[in-house]
Structure 1
Amino acid sequence: MPVSLTVVKRLFAKSGNQCAIPWCHAPLVVEDHSIAEICHIRARRKGGPRYDPALTSDEKDDFKNLILLCPTHHTEVDKSPAKYSVDILSEIKEMHERESQNEVTPRMAEQAALIHAKQLKKNSKSIKSSPVHGNADARASSGGVAVAIGGHNQGKINIHVGGKPKKEAGKYPANSIGADANLAGYIDYLCEMYVKFMSPIERDEDALWARIGKHIKTKFRLVKRSRGHIPAEKFTKLVEFIIDEKLTNTPVGQKHIRNGTRLCSTFQEWREGK
């Protein structure tokens, strides 16, 4: 599976729009052009640099296993796995992202989308064709089917489609927070702020993301559902919960309160990129 847009947004937000190699100052996005390349610390495929068979497919494309580099250093890193080991790249990633911001502004989201689109295009080009001999037969019990055969096909291809096409359901129900990009984006921003505010006492960001997610699920009794399933009418309550009960009780949040400064941007300010 390709790296998700959410992960790319998080990577870009923490990159400072700069290649992660300490001595490189190359930007990752210039105006509306993506230069960035997504480097896997542990390769996705067997035989790749620093491949680890113990990693699952999801772990290979997870935030912890990815780092944004310029094309030059991506090539150097992957051609020199002995020099750029897993430990070295992990340390470079940690150092590069340590002082970065967690907020994803609308402009940063647009730039991250450019990187994501470039990666998808790259992945589609990397699929190699191979010759097909004999007959190929594809069937579907319901819905449609699309088949692409690369190489030189020397056999007959039969495609059988059965049943009525099923209407594809959205990931989130209508009128839910997840169905509205602005509502979902602001909640992601607040969760990012929670992770950032907790960083002085907890450096495991994945654990912090899991923690805030669990708090939200418990508060809104989601059971097996995610925060995106919360009805849009409860958006204000969710915002108040994260700010008043979570951000204010973090070390950084307490410091903001003592100094009389605001904890975060309002929804409107966030939408305007302030």
Structure 2
Amino acid sequence: MPIVEAVGTITGEICHIRARNEGGPRFDVTQSEDERHGFENLVLLCRRHHKMVDAEPDVYSVEALEEIKRIRECDMGRPEQAADAFYAKILLGDLRRIEVTNNSGNVVIDSPGAIIAKTVNVKTTRNTVTIQPAAGTIGADLKASRYIQHLISRYNEFASVDKSRDTKFSYGAISRNIEANFRGPWRMLAIEDFDALCVYLQQRISRTRIAKSNAAKGLKAFSSFEDYT
């Protein structure tokens, strides 16, 4: 399960390796407050595994969690991306309290149509928080967003019926591929990336068996941006 879904929904939680409160799993009375909330004592988990880890401290010891963290950092580490600071603030706020300070641009969080700058304080009782695309992103441009959704839908429509596939088709794979290639969820990408993203998706569509068959018959595989909008 991804910690941050392609649409911007946060599904992960910060787990304290040594509990932050006395009586909690793996609590270490010798730790200072700074150590307790420091990077070395934190590991990122999905909610299900966070509950498992805290419910079975004998199985998931300090040493075990530190080793899990080390392995995941080696396997999954990557350069920091532009949206990471937003996601980190939400995760550190335990998905219920958000505080974003000293940001250099505008941040829009869970508030359609609003532009919030400099300092953001949000409280919510919901279990998940969705980041709304900021101004200047593809997701904030209605026409651009609709066209990207059209291309993704068309790719999934064509690729999902290919009987020659060796693996089970995943409708979410194309969004994950976009995130890997463009270093962020498509809705969060700058509008300047729109043309490159369109070319990427159009090429993916054109490589499907149905698109190739349609092309041989003189049929279009997708609408142009101008025609679609």
The TM-score with structure 1 as length reference comes to 0.34
The TM-score with structure 2 as length reference comes to 0.41
